[in-house]
A and B are shown apart, each in its own frame.
Chain A
Amino acid sequence: MSDSLMDQTVRQAARVVLGKERQIRLALACLLARGHLLIEDLPGVGKTILAHVLAKSLGLDFHRIQCTADMLPADILGVSIYDRERSTFQFHPGPIFAQLVLVDEINRATPRTQSALLEAMEEHQVTCEGETHLLPRPFFVIATQNPSHQIGTFPLPESQLDRFLMRIEIGYPDPEAERALLGGADRRELVADLGPCMTPENLIELQRSLQNVHVSDALIAYVQALVEHTRRAPDFKTGLSPRAGLALLRAARAWALIDHRDLVLPEDIQAVLPAVAGHRLHPANSAPGAQTAADIATALIGAVPIP
């Protein structure tokens, strides 16, 4: 049953976001693994549409935050406003109180705002004036970021990048998809017409069923070897943290689940590796060659034999 739900979701999203089934699956895997997603790409490749489609298909309520330089943490998290008539503080929830939040151009927000947002993401709660407000469940943040270094932007610091389970790039559609896109209906209208493929309850159940995906000792050894390699090899400035190793395993479980398997294969690890490890690894300047996340991941996969 749940298998078909996931398949339906992927199929439906793929009808709107053309030629990007892999990215859709990764986004879904990220969601199943209860992580947050960072999409780093140029404007106009369909970041927002992807988030919309996912929200619609999964039946999640959806908020969008467009980040600007003058935005304050309160603008996202909410604010306690004094009610003069009742002489009490009344909490007005910010846009973060939604099941799926799209944070557009997160690098335009100031570091202060960014860190407030990321903290809330991590804790699944907002603390304002000493009061704690739980965020809804499921809770999923898709943040987008422009890769180009522009004046007046604040790229997410490395420590904060770690809060995102995955970072993906969408990239331009291939020629066939692009033709279909150009010839097809307006994407926004398509999104508006979409119905949910599953309920949030279904989604939570799927998230729980991740536990049942079997991870063998051999696979753990593989993950360990990969992580170990990043810590030693000259290609990276700093290696993957234990948290990154756990993230890798979680994402791979979700990937296996989407693939209807109850066990994780090395291939699952390899499939999610660029998305999970790409933003956590930084090529060392002494390392000749590979620079992009995909290059890094490919080199990493090629360097570590499956034990």
Chain B
Amino acid sequence: MAAKHKKSPPAHPLTRSQQAWLIASAPLTVAPGIAYVPGWLAASVGIALLWRAVLWWRHAAAPPRWLLNALALAGCVGVFLSFRHFFGKDPGVALLILFLWLKLLEMRQARDGLVVVFLSYFLLFTHFMEAQGLGLAGFTVLALVVVTAALSSLAQTRQSVAARLRLSALMLAQAAPFMLILFLLFPRVQGPLWGMPRDAYSGMSGLSDVMEPGSISNLSLSGAVAFRVRFEGDIPPRHSLYWRGPVLRQFDGRAWRAGFQRPIRRPQDPQEMTLTDSVRYTVTLEPHNRHWLFALEMPLTAPADAIISNDYQVLSKQPIRSRIRYDMQSRLNALPQTGAAPAPRTDLALRPGNNPRTRALLENWRRELNTGADAGANADEAIVHRMLDYFRRESFFYTLTPPLLDGRHSVDQFLFETRRGFCEHYASAFVFAMRTAGIPARVVTGYQGGERNPVDGYLIVRQSDAHAWAEVWLAERGWVRVDPTAAVAPSRIEAGIASALAEGEPLPFMIGADLDWLRAMYFRWDAVTNGWNQWVLGYDTLRQRETLSRLGMRQPNWKSMTTAMAVLCGLLLLGLTFWALHKRARLTPVLRAWNRLSRRLKRAGLARQDWEGPADYAIRVTQARPELARPMADIASLYIGLRYGKLDGQKPLDELRRLIAGLKIARQR
């Protein structure tokens, strides 16, 4: 009904300033995407924007339609050739960018401008699929201010650039409380509504299920955070912080692999549950696109959607594709493995014929021990100790840059020739040696140690903390952790990699830095990032409920959340209504006092007419209420002096206020 008179759609040709706004806002919306869209598209955006800017500068007309159509077609073909399909995130973003610059080239009417702005908003949204860091968030806010200013330019106003940006910033600031409320209270749905396109995850780094010489030392050069841990209570001593990751059993002479067997759920031992000396902690794990979750040895409970396998790996049912948070409980001391099943044969398997010198050494030890007093189980333990002693005694070095090991006899080469290596070398050689001695053994990879951020108390575990160690199966004791690296470089375990390496070894930037202030800044920054991750990015169903109950909501379910959301938004709207309707009185104190007089006398039916002068008013009031003659005369003379005469200052004003306040207006009989 109202639409009948609406002159819409507004057929206003875009003015030059509107075009300028739209052209200027485009680079900001496209910029974050340049890094991940195909190169040709990024180049085309640059060229198109430049072209558009030149057209604007020269007051030239938009390119002809056939050219634009051809460009659109070529662009679509390009997107298809790049992605082979049109569905999913990446081709979607590419198409959005394509449409944006085509629309920018083509725009003529205000309506085209609206399309450009909406595309811009959408594009800003899509960048979050790629990254959600603080930096991008800040950049997006900036871009939003500019895009919103561009939108406001479409409203046909004549405002300066600064005024427009101010308005845009003001409106976004006013919108922020709504964002906060909705963000807190909008019921979060966990997980995708439908299957994620395959390409949603790429480029995640971390431990893999293959360990070969160099794979962990490469990782050690990365300062990237693997996960962060918050302990309930104190952080346990550093030497007990073994974060268990993939367990590797198969050795091909060079690389250790997890093998293909399906993980078997370890039967829950009721006795374990009664242990009181366990630590509780929460891990926030960066995505690595694998199944395993890291936990301190030995994990007792598995989070939901995960199991503890019979080799004590904590395995998620879904690969970890986004940052997740899970609660864990572990026992730092070895578990009582009563009735432990004998180790499977795979943990003894070796390829025959390799590394003869190692075999010879171990067989020699075995013989010596078997002839000795403590045979059997104790002999196994003695062999373990001998091996560790061997590492300690001989001149082994712990280094990130070991010489290359080649050939079939890499273990021999390492143990007898180079004797320089990183944790994977020691773990690999150790497990191999144990197996040749007939002791079931396996490689465990994961992380060791971590660094406490003094700012927020989180323990930061980086990729550089990646580590490999060994486990041997001893009768009566079951699986026992043995860390050969500790034998060679005890400080690696006690103080971290930086202190264990010799001077001059390459190290990840932050790890080796001695600059305290830089470190302090790093910690602060990491605390901010972590807070961001925990509270903004990690704000999921669970965290939402937890937060809301901490905020005092008794039973946070979608009903109560929606109610609270509606109530709070309503309050905000009410506040905005007041803001919109609020009359800003810009009156001088004298006029305020004078108006107060009129308001007071209004009850007696003697409100001042707005055209009535003060003397006339006083006379009228006096005629109606003779008892007010004196005060009214005083009031009028003061007011006249203050407003129309040369009377000035606080004293007469106070007197005027006092007289007006003290006026006794009797009710009309």
Bound together: yes
Q: State which of A12-20, A176-184, A194-202, A297-305 sits at the interface with chain B.
A: A297-305
Q: Is A4 an interface residue (CB 8 A)?
A: no
Find out whether the CB atom of B611 lies under 8 angstroms from the CB atom of A214. Answer: no
B615 and A263 within 8 A (CB)? no
- Interface set, chain A 270-307, CB cutoff 8 A to B: 270, 301-306
Partner of B644, one of A263, A301, A304: A263
Report whether B615 and A267 are in contact in the complex, using a CB–CB cutoff of 8 Å: yes
* A265 CB–B CB distance under 8 Å: yes
B234: CB under 8 A from chain A?
no
Which of A218, A270, A304 lies in contact with B643, CB distance below 8 A? A218
- Measured CB to CB, the closest approach of chain B to A292, in angstroms, equals 19
Contact B610 A265 (CB under 8 A): no
Are A218 and B644 in contact, CB atoms less than 8 angstroms apart? yes
- Judge whether B611 and A305 touch: CB under 8 Å: yes
Interface membership of A264, Cβ < 8 A: yes
Given contacts A305-B610, A306-B610, contact A216 B643 (CB under 8 A): yes
Query: Counting CB contacts under 8 A, is A266 at the interface?
Result: yes
B353 at the interface (CB under 8 A from A): no
Measured between alpha carbons, how far is A270 from B616 in the docked complex, in Å?
11
Residues of A within 8 A of B644 (CB): 214, 216, 218-219, 263-266
Residues on A with beta carbons closer than 8 Å to the beta carbon of B645 = 214, 216, 262-263
Q: Which residue of B lies closest to A268 (CB)?
A: B613
For A265, list chain B residues within 8 Å (CB).
Answer: 613-615, 640, 644
Given A218-B643, A263-B640, A264-B644, are A270 and B610 neighbors across the interface (CB < 8 Å)? no
List B contacts of A264 (CB < 8 A): 644
Given A214-B644, A214-B646, A216-B643, does the pair A267, B611 have CB atoms closer than 8 Å? no
Chain B residues numbered 611-647 whose CB sits less than 8 Å from any CB in chain A: 611-616, 640-641, 643-646
A63 to B: closest C-beta gap in Å: 39
**Contact present for B640 and A270 (CB under 8 Å):** no
Q: How far is the CB of A253 from chain B (nearest CB, A)?
A: 12
Least CB distance, B490 to chain A, in whole angstroms: 88
Is A306 a contact of B640 with CB atoms below 8 Å?
no
A304 to B610, CA, bound (A): 8
A269 to chain B: closest CB distance in Å?
8
Residues from chain A with a CB closer than 8 A to the CB of B615 are 265, 267
In the assembled complex, the Cα of A305 lies from the Cα of B595 at a distance in Å of 13
* A261 CB to nearest B CB, Å: 9
Q: Are A270 and B613 in contact (CB under 8 A)?
A: yes
Within 8 A of A (CB), among B580-630: 610-616
Residues of the B chain whose Cβ atoms lie less than 8 Å from the Cβ of A305: 610-611
The residue in chain B whose Cβ has the minimal distance to the Cβ of A269 is B613
B611 touching A301 by the CB < 8 A rule? yes
The chain B residue with its CB closest to the CB of A302 is B611
Contacts of A302 in B (CB 8 A): 611
Inter-chain contacts of A214 with B (CB < 8 A): 644-646
Chain B residues, CB < 8 A from A262: 645
Would you give the 0/1 interface string for A188-226, flagging 1 where the beta carbon is closer than 8 Å to chain B?
000000000000000000000000001010110000000
Q: Name the residue in A219, A262, A303, A306 with the highest tally of chain B Cβ atoms < 10 Å from its Cβ.
A: A306
Q: A306 vs B595: C-alpha distance in the bound complex, in angstroms?
A: 12
Q: Decide if A267 touches B643 in the complex (CB within 8 Å).
A: no
Q: Please give the distance in Å from B66's CB to the nearest CB on chain A.
A: 54
In the complex, which residues 641-659 of chain B have their Cβ closer than 8 Å to any Cβ of chain A?
641, 643-646
Q: Which of B613, B614, B640, B645 has the most CB of A within 10 A?
A: B613
**A267 cross-chain contacts in B, Cβ below 8 A:** 613-616
> Looking across the interface, which residue of chain A has its beta carbon closest to that of B588?
A218
Q: Which B residue sits closest to A264, measured CB to CB? A: B644
Asked if A306 contacts B611 (CB within 8 A), the reply is yes
For B613, list chain A residues within 8 Å (CB).
265-267, 270, 306
| Complex-state Cα separation, A21 to B610, whole angstroms | 28
Q: How near does chain A come to B540, taking the closest CB pair, in angstroms?
A: 60
Q: Which residues on A sit within 8 Å (CB–CB) of B640?
A: 263, 265
Interface bits B31-70 vs A (CB < 8 Å: 1, else 0): 0000000000000000000000000000000000000000
Who on chain B is nearest to A259 by CB?
B615
In angstroms, Cα B616 to Cα A114, docked, is 40
A264 to B217, CA, bound (A): 94
User: In chain B between 151 and 173, which residues have their CB closer than 8 angstroms to a CB of chain A?
Assistant: none
B614 contacts which chain A residues (CB < 8 A)?
Answer: 265-267
CB-CB under 8 A from B641, the residues of chain A are 263
Query: A214–B615 Cα gap in the complex (Å)?
Result: 16
A214 to B641, CA, bound (A): 11
Inter-chain CA distance A89–B612, complex, in Å, is: 60
Q: How far is the CA of A218 from the CA of B641 in the complex (A)?
A: 12
How many Å lie between the Cα of A263 and that of B614 in the bound state? Answer: 13
Residues in B whose Cβ lies below 8 Å from that of A303: 611
- Docked CA distance A306–B645 (Å): 16
Nearest-neighbor residue (CB-CB) of B614 within chain A? A265
Question: What B residues does A263 contact at CB under 8 A?
Answer: 640-641, 644-646
Map CB proximity to B onto A239-272 as digits: 1 under 8 Å, 0 otherwise.
0000000000000000000000011111100100
| Min distance, Cβ A224 to any Cβ of chain B, angstroms | 15
Q: What is the bound-complex CA distance between A264 and B646, given in angstroms?
A: 11
Shortest CB-to-CB span from A305 to chain B, Å, is 4
**Cα separation A265 to B640 with both chains bound (whole Å):** 8
Which residues on the A side are within 8 Å of B616 (C-beta)?
267
Residue of A nearest to B641 (CB): A263
In whole angstroms, what is the CA distance A296 to B623 when docked? Answer: 27
Q: How far is the CA of A210 from the CA of B610 in the complex (A)?
A: 28
Closest chain A residue to B643 by CB distance? A218
Min C-beta distance of A246 to chain B, whole Å: 18
CA distance A303 to B609 in the complex (A): 11
Docked pose: A77 CA to B457 CA in angstroms? 105
A165 to B615, CA, bound (A): 25
**Chain A residues, CB < 8 A from B643:** 216, 218
Q: Which of B616, B641, B644 gathers the greatest number of chain A CB atoms within 10 Å?
A: B644
A92 → chain B closest CB, angstroms: 50
**With the chains together, A267 CA to B614 CA distance in Å?**
8
Instruction: Tell me the complex Cα distance, A218–B614, Å.
Output: 13
A219, A264, A265 interface centre (most CB from chain B within 10 Å): A265
**What is the CB-to-nearest-CB distance from B615 to chain A, in angstroms, rounded to a whole number?**
5
Q: How far is A60 from B402 in the complex, measured between Cα atoms in Å? A: 125
Q: Are A306 and B646 in contact (CB under 8 A)?
A: no
| Chain A hits for B646, CB < 8 A | 214, 263
Q: How far is the CA of A270 from the CA of B644 in the complex (A)?
A: 15
**Min distance, Cβ A8 to any Cβ of chain B, angstroms:** 24
Whole-angstrom CA separation of A302 from B616 in the bound complex: 14
Cα–Cα, bound, A306→B615 (Å)? 13
Q: How far is the CB of B34 from chain A (nearest CB, A)?
A: 56
Q: How far is the CA of A277 from the CA of B287 in the complex (A)?
A: 84
Taken together as a complex, chains A and B put the C-alpha atoms of A306 and B611 apart, in Å, by 5
Q: How far is the CA of A53 from the CA of B559 in the complex (A)?
A: 92
Inter-chain CA distance A49–B641, complex, in Å, is: 39
A302–B615 Cα distance when bound, in Å, is 16
Q: What is the distance, in angstroms, from A255's C-beta to the closest C-beta of chain B?
A: 12
Q: How far is the CA of A216 from the CA of B643 in the complex (A)?
A: 7
A302 to B646, CA, bound (A): 27
- Give, as a whole number of angstroms, the nearest-CB distance from A278 to chain B: 18
Please, which residue of chain A has its CB at the minimum distance from the CB of B590?
A218
CA distance A304 to B643 in the complex (A): 18
Report how far A301 CA is from B610 CA in the complex, Å. Answer: 10
CB distance from A225 to the nearest CB of B (A): 10
Distance in angstroms between the alpha carbons of A22 and B378 in the assembled complex: 132
A-B pairs, top 7 by smallest CB distance, nearest first, are A305-B610, A266-B613, A267-B613, A263-B645, A216-B644, A263-B644, A218-B643
Question: What are 6 A-to-B residue pairs whose CB atoms are below 8 Å?
Answer: A219-B644, A263-B646, A264-B644, A266-B613, A270-B613, A305-B610
Chain B residues at the A interface, C-beta cutoff of 8 Å: 610-616, 640-641, 643-646
Task: Identify 20 new A-B residue pairs, CB closer than 8 A, beyond the known A214-B646, A216-B644, A262-B645.
Answer: A214-B644, A214-B645, A216-B643, A216-B645, A218-B643, A218-B644, A219-B644, A263-B640, A263-B645, A264-B644, A265-B614, A265-B640, A266-B613, A266-B614, A266-B644, A301-B611, A302-B611, A303-B611, A306-B610, A306-B613
Seen from chain A, the residues whose Cβ lies within 8 Å of a Cβ on chain B are 214, 216, 218-219, 262-267, 270, 301-306
